[in-house]
């Protein structure tokens, strides 16, 4: 994640892809167990963020109630005469009908057939018809290798009576659907997200009527569902913008340069490619991340893994905060993209490294590529030290929370800790230190790295670091 510092940027961290192979287009399979279809099912999701908030971990997402404070989804009139067997049969029919629509959509994407894709959309849902045209046009621009829908669950009580009446038809329901897609040349594994898909059956045919009904907290939205995309491809980057093609093209060179800068420090033993999302507004950034409103108001960019679980090989995206990112200026944007690309190269979301090391190392690489005066880059930290507030220890996870009052000082002190290691032992030793902690399977990995790389304990290093900070601040 990238925070705003005196140098005018911000940071965050995430995962990695190891190769660039793709897999064949799989078929859509409806859920196999009738019992799992008619019940409300909790769906586990994760946004793997190494940002001010730290590792987000696994988010548990369940269907939201139809009305705030009202009956829970799936509640039914106790006087209903439907038997469990009837409900199970109806559930199987919904999964079969919905699954067939999803299969037709996936096939249309695979065949690049716009008319077949639009044939799956409810002709009476005019707003979604327009959205579907945009979605298909977006997917046409992306280097899609794998594209798949999987029907997971549904709930007949999820739609309000007014919404059901608006849809009409003989049946209407909301289903949770997993969508996965893989960007050829960039992703080792497909990205995944959960979409709430509304279906309606009329005149014996089932259609999709919405991809955006009743999102709940923590659900990520695929960038290609959020509006018209412009896509630009560089030698080492793919920039996906929700603004103009000119903007996407403008950032390709910056992203390519960031990859080169990171490889000079980290080495070339990583795919050396990045995917950058440029939302047009804050709400789109939050939608991509599955974040609550205003979570990242202080953050210029975040690196996230678009996969259900944090793991090596997950598809990684650098997501910019549109307002702050544009305010940074040319140098600031280069610093931020280099910082975030360091997180991609170092597989930070799938790493046990403490946040001070992940963020400090990313800043070290960024400021090596784009030198900034210490007084500017560590302004808040130096101010505190001159007032007698010398950090007592290396910053902990809480210090990097997006809402932390000491966010700037946390980044600045972490950066200078990593720079001290590089100055003391050499830049290769800093990389070796990071890799030692990253690859360790032991709970004492950090302590072991201090001993093996620096020949001292963490406590001894902190004493040296405190002296280093006071000297730099002139205190």
119-142 pLDDT, tens digit each:
999 999 999 999 999 999 999 999
Counting residues of the chain whose pLDDT is more than 90, the rounded percentage is: 67
Pairing of strands 205-210, 191-202: antiparallel
Q: Is the pLDDT at 340 greater than 80, yes or no? A: yes
In angstroms, what CA-CA distances link 441 with 351, 436, 438, 445?
11, 10, 9, 7
Are 3 and 162 in contact, with CB atoms under 8 Å apart? no
How far does Cα 39 stand from its chain's mean position?
29
Distance CA 55, CA 325 (A): 22
Give 42's pLDDT tier (boundaries 50, 70, 90): very low
Give 86's pLDDT tier (boundaries 50, 70, 90): confident
Residues 274-296: tens digit of each pLDDT: 999 999 999 999 999 999 888 88
Report which of 158, 227, 225 is spatially closest to residue 198, judged by C-alpha positions: 158
Residues 177-230: tens digit of each pLDDT: 999 999 999 999 999 999 999 999 999 999 999 998 888 878 899 999 999 999
Give 339's pLDDT tier (boundaries 50, 70, 90): very high
What is the mean pLDDT of the segment spanning 22-40? 28
Give alpha helix (H) positions in 370-457.
374-377, 379-386, 407-425, 427-439, 445-449
SS3 172: strand
Q: Is the pLDDT higher at 298 or at 266?
A: 266
Q: Is the pLDDT at 14 greater than 70, yes or no? A: no
Sign of CA dihedral 297, 298, 300, 304: negative
DSSP annotation of 452 reads: I
What is the mean pLDDT of the segment spanning 156-160? 90
Residues 360-408: tens digit of each pLDDT: 999 999 999 999 999 999 999 999 999 999 999 999 999 998 888 889 9
Are 136 and 118 in contact, with CB atoms under 8 Å apart? yes
Q: Is the pLDDT at 245 greater than 90, yes or no? A: no
Q: Quick one: angle between helices 329-345 and 245-266, nearest 10?
A: 60
State residue 226's pLDDT score. Answer: 95
Give 85's pLDDT tier (boundaries 50, 70, 90): confident
Give 244's pLDDT tier (boundaries 50, 70, 90): confident
State residue 3's pLDDT score. Answer: 58
State residue 139's pLDDT score. Answer: 97
Q: Is the pLDDT higher at 406 or at 241?
A: 241
Are 256 and 235 in contact, with CB atoms under 8 Å apart? yes
Are 417 and 355 in contact, with CB atoms under 8 Å apart? no
Give 335's pLDDT tier (boundaries 50, 70, 90): very high
SS3 content of the chain, % helix, strand, coil (to 5): 45, 20, 35
State residue 73's pLDDT score. Answer: 27
State residue 310's pLDDT score. Answer: 66
- CA angle, residues 111, 116, 121, in degrees to nearest 5: 130
Are 334 and 369 in contact, with CB atoms under 8 Å apart? yes
Residues 145-156: tens digit of each pLDDT: 999 999 999 988
Contacts of residues 208-211 at CB distance under 8 Å and 24 or more positions apart, as own/partner, are 208/101, 208/102, 208/105, 208/120, 208/121, 208/122, 208/128, 208/132, 209/121, 209/122, 209/125, 209/128, 209/167, 209/172, 210/125, 210/128, 211/128, 211/131, 211/132, 211/135
SS3 358: helix
Which residues, other chains included, contact 367 with Cβ-Cβ below 8 Å and sequence gap of 6+?
Answer: 7, 335, 377, 415, 419
pTM listed for this prediction? 0.81
N-term to C-term CA, the chain: 30
DSSP annotation of 432 reads: H
Pairing of strands 316-320, 274-278: parallel
DSSP annotation of 121 reads: B
Are 11 and 340 in contact, with CB atoms under 8 Å apart? yes
DSSP annotation of 215 reads: -
Give the residues across from 45 on adjacent strands: 59
Give alpha helix (H) positions in 267-328.
282-289, 322-327
Give the residues across from 238 on adjacent strands: 233, 275
Sign of CA dihedral 105, 109, 111, 114: positive
Of the listed ranges 145-149, 156-160, 245-249, 300-304, the least confidently predicted one is 245-249
State residue 2's pLDDT score. Answer: 65
Range from 26-40, 64-78, 253-267 that averages highest in pLDDT: 253-267
Give 71's pLDDT tier (boundaries 50, 70, 90): very low
Report which of 23, 61, 62 is spatially closest to residue 40, judged by C-alpha positions: 62
Mean pLDDT computed over every residue of the chain: 83
Distance CA 437, CA 363 (A): 18
State residue 43's pLDDT score. Answer: 23
Q: Is the pLDDT at 38 greater than 70, yes or no? A: no
Report which of 247, 165, 173 is spatially closest to residue 210, judged by C-alpha positions: 173
Are 145 and 184 in contact, with CB atoms under 8 Å apart? yes
φ, ψ (nearest 5 deg) of residue 194: -105, 125
Distance CA 234, CA 238 (A): 6
Are 321 and 296 in contact, with CB atoms under 8 Å apart? yes
Report which of 48, 21, 11, 46 is spatially closest to residue 341, judged by C-alpha positions: 11
């Amino acid at each position: 994640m990238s925070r705003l510092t005196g140098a005018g940027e911000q940071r965050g961290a995430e995962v990695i892809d190891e190769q660039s192979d793709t897999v064949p287009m799989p078929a859509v399979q409806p859920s196999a167990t009738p019992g799992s279809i008619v019940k409300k099912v909790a769906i586990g999701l994760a946004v793997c963020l190494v940002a001010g908030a730290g590792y987000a971990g696994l988010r548990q997402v369940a269907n939201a109630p139809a009305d705030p404070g009202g009956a829970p989804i799936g509640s039914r009139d106790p006087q209903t005469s439907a038997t469990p067997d009837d409900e199970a049969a109806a559930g199987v029919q919904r999964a079969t009908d919905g699954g067939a629509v999803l299969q037709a959509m996936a096939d249309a994407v695979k065949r690049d057939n716009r008319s077949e894709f639009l044939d799956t959309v409810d002709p009476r849902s005019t707003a979604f018809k327009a959205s579907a045209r945009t979605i298909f046009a977006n997917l046409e621009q992306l280097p899609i290798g794998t594209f798949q829908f999987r029907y997971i669950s549904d709930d007949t009580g999820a739609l309000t009576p007014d919404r059901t009446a608006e849809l009409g038809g003989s049946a209407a329901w909301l289903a949770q659907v997993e969508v996965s897609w893989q960007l050829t040349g960039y992703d080792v594994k497909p990205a995944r997200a959960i979409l709430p898909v509304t279906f309606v059956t009329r005149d014996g045919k089932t259609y999709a009527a919405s991809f955006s009904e009743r999102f709940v907290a923590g659900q990520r939205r695929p960038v290609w569902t959020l509006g018209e995309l412009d896509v630009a491809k560089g030698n080492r980057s793919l920039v996906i913008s929700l603004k103009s093609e000119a903007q996407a093209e403008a950032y390709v060179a910056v992203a390519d340069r960031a990859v080169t800068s990171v490889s000079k420090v980290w080495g070339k033993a990583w795919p050396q490619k990045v995917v950058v999302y440029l939302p047009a507004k804050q709400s789109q950034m939050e939608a991509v991340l599955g974040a609550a409103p205003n979570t990242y108001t202080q953050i210029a960019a975040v690196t996230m893994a678009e996969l259900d679980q944090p793991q090596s090989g997950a598809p990684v995206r650098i997501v910019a905060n549109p307002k702050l990112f544009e305010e940074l200026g040319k140098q600031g944007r280069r610093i931020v993209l280099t910082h975030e690309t360091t997180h991609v190269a170092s597989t930070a979301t799938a790493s046990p490294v403490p946040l001070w090391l992940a963020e400090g190392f990313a800043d070290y690489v960024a400021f090596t590529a784009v030198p900034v005066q210490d007084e500017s880059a560590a302004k808040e930290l130096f101010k505190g030290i001159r007032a007698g507030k010398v950090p007592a220890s290396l910053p902990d996870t809480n210090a990097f929370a997006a809402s932390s009052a000491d966010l700037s000082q946390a980044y600045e002190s972490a950066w200078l800790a990593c720079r001290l290691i590089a100055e003391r032992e050499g830049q290769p030793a800093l990389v070796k230190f990071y890799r030692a902690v990253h690859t360790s399977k032991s709970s004492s990995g950090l302590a072991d790295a201090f001993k093996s790389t620096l020949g001292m304990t963490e406590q001894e290093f902190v004493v040296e670091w405190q002296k280093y900070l006071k000297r730099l601040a002139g205190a």
